[in-house]
């Protein structure tokens, strides 16, 4: 049961956490979303589709942003409370550093629960949807065909070049070389062209152009001029290719117990799946540990009127070590799956450091009593 002091302390942490999470996630989301603009525009999609695609990036962004926001919020709130002597009053009233750690630990548990929802469910779900949508864009030949100034090779033996395009989908200066039948290559050129779709049929309607053929065994070029010619490209639209889901797109049970189909893939091995499974499990722990590190760093050195910049930087340094250690240990496990326990060492290190700092803050120096004669 939380008392009034714990609820007040917790409220002071949640407010800055929301602010830092919004700012950090916004910056990371923008950095991730910008590279997708070209793919969406080239596919001829609308702004609503762009928002849909970039919304799938949010869980991945939150997985990185939430632990940083938790540490930043704890440092900001604790530094302010200590600078305004509120923490000093609490400790003078009998609150030990371990007692003050209770609302901070509860705050860390709340962030950890949020992180668990993100890493264990939202990230694999959103990444699967994102990769599938991007694969759909690449396989949607009817939309990606209209690219001006580029030589496109949708299938082997077929080359398409369009000099210019309009917003209405009109093409000017079309060149199409069909060498799928090496014995009878055909070249189509047209002053204008339109992309027409009727039910399952997709055609290029060429206007004012020529067809040039050079049959095998002859040196005579055959040229036919046409006013309108329809070229069916429906047969060029290959069926969607089955895609191998990466470990990042899979849920933890799949990663811990991969089936034969997953293990048969030469791209990912069992160690890759184990590394990603433990990474998804250990990331929420850092959200619990980092606020406690911030509390220990602020309290360990006692009150100072000059500020706590050195302690803040120390807490940030420890946080960086913990987060970097998770990434480094993941690469170790990818090389040897039996070392999966190594991934929990950074979080354990951070927790030990936090406890040691809190114990140091709890030590009250004994004043030497002056012995009267």
Instruction: Give a yes or no: residue 367 inside a domain.
Output: no
Is pLDDT above 60 for 305?
no
Distance CA 290, CA 347 (A): 9
- Specify whether 110 is located in the same domain as 253: yes
pLDDT of 277 reads: 94
Q: Beta strands 222-232 and 201-213: pairing type?
A: antiparallel
* DSSP label at residue 150: -
Kindly state whether residue 239 falls inside one of the protein's structural domains: no
Q: Examine the fold and report which residue of 172, 199, 232 is the final residue of a domain before the chain moves on.
A: 232
Residue 250 lies in a domain: yes
Residue 321 placed within a domain: yes
Q: How many other β-carbons are positioned within 10 Å of the β-carbon of residue 291? A: 34
The mean pLDDT of 49-66, rounded to a whole number, is 89
Res. 141: pLDDT tops 70: no
With beta carbons less than 8 A apart as the criterion, state whether 50 and 32 touch.
no
**Which residues span the domain enclosing 223?**
146-232
What is the structure's pLDDT at 144?
58
pLDDT beyond 70 at 259? yes
Q: What is the pLDDT of residues 82-97, one digit of tens each?
A: 777 777 777 777 778 8
Report d(CA 335, CA 339) in Å as an integer: 9
367 pLDDT higher than 50? no
DSSP state of 148: B
339 and 319 in a common domain: yes
Q: What local confidence, expressed as pLDDT, does residue 371 receive?
A: 40
Q: What is the mean pLDDT of the chain?
A: 83
Do 104 and 156 fall within a single domain? no
Write the CB contacts of 317 (distance below 8 Å, at least 6 apart in sequence): none
pTM for the full predicted model:
0.72
End residue of a domain, out of 199, 232, 265: 232
Mark whether 49 and 134 lie in a shared domain: yes
**Which band of pLDDT confidence, cut at 50, 70 and 90, is reported for residue 366?**
very low
Final residue before a domain boundary, out of 212, 232, 252? 232
pLDDT reading at 136 higher than 90: no
| pLDDT given at position 63 | 93
- Residue 205: closest CA among 232, 168, 175: 232
Same domain, yes or no, for 50 and 177? Answer: no
The structural domain count of the chain equals 2
Q: Say which residues have a Cβ less than 8 Å from residue 258's Cβ, sequence separation at least 6.
A: 270, 273
What's the pLDDT score for residue 347? Answer: 93
Q: Identify whether residues 48 and 116 lie together within a single domain.
A: yes
Residues 172 and 309 reside in one and the same domain: no
372, pLDDT greater than 50: no
What burial letters (b/e) apply to 105-125, b meaning 16+ CB within 10 Å?
bbbbebbbebbbebbbebbbe
Do residues 282 and 323 share a domain?
yes
Verify that 197 and 258 share a domain, yes or no: no
Is there a domain that residue 80 lies in?
yes
* 9 and 121 co-located in one domain: yes
152 part of a folded domain = yes
More reliable by pLDDT, 299 or 144: 299
pLDDT tens string 94-117 = 778 888 888 999 999 999 999 999
Q: Are both 77 and 202 inside the same structural domain? A: no
Are 163 and 187 in contact by the 8 Å Cβ rule? The answer is no
Residue 186 included in any domain? yes
* C-alpha separations of 294 from 70, 75, 140, 244 in Å: 10, 6, 50, 41
The three-class DSSP label of residue 219 is coil
Query: Does 373 reside within a domain?
Result: no
Residues 213 and 263 in one domain: no
**Selected residue with higher pLDDT from 18 and 311:** 18
């Amino acid at each position: 049961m939380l008392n009034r002091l714990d609820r007040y302390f917790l409220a002071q942490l949640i407010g800055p956490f929301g602010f830092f999470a919004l700012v950090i996630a916004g910056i990371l989301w923008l950095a991730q979303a910008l590279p997708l603009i070209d793919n969406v525009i080239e596919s001829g999609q609308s702004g609503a589709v762009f928002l849909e695609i970039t919304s799938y990036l949010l869980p991945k962004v939150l997985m990185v942003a939430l632990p940083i926001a938790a540490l930043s919020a704890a440092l900001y709130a604790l530094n302010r409370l200590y600078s305004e002597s509120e923490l000093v009053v609490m400790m003078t009233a009998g609150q030990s550093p371990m007692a003050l750690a209770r609302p901070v630990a509860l705050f860390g548990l709340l962030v950890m629960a949020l992180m668990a929802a993100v890493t264990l469910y939202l990230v694999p779900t959103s990444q699967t949807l994102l990769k599938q949508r991007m694969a759909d864009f690449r396989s949607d030949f009817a939309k990606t065909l209209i690219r001006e100034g580029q030589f496109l090779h949708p299938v082997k033996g077929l080359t398409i070049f369009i000099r210019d395009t309009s917003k209405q989908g009109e093409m000017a200066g079309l060149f199409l070389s069909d060498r799928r039948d090496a014995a009878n290559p055909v070249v189509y050129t047209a002053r204008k062209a339109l992309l027409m779709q009727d039910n399952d049929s997709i055609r290029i309607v060429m206007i004012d152009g020529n067809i040039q053929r050079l049959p095998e065994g002859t040196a005579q070029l055959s040229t036919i001029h046409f006013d309108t010619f329809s070229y069916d490209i429906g047969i060029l639209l290959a069926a969607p290719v089955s895609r191998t889901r990466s470990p990042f797109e899979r849920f933890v049970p799949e990663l811990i117990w991969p089936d034969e189909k997953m293990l048969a893939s030469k791209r990912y091995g069992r160690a890759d799946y184990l590394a990603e499974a433990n990474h998804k499990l250990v990331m929420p722990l850092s959200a619990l540990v980092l606020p406690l590190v911030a509390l220990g760093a602020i309290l360990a050195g006692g009150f100072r009127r000059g500020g706590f910049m050195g302690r803040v930087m120390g807490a940030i340094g420890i946080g960086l070590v913990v987060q970097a250690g998770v990434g480094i240990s993941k690469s170790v496990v990818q090389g040897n799956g039996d070392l999966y326990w190594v991934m929990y060492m950074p979080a354990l290190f951070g927790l030990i450091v936090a406890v040691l700092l809190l114990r140091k803050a709890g030590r009250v120096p004994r004043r030497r009593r002056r012995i009267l004669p």
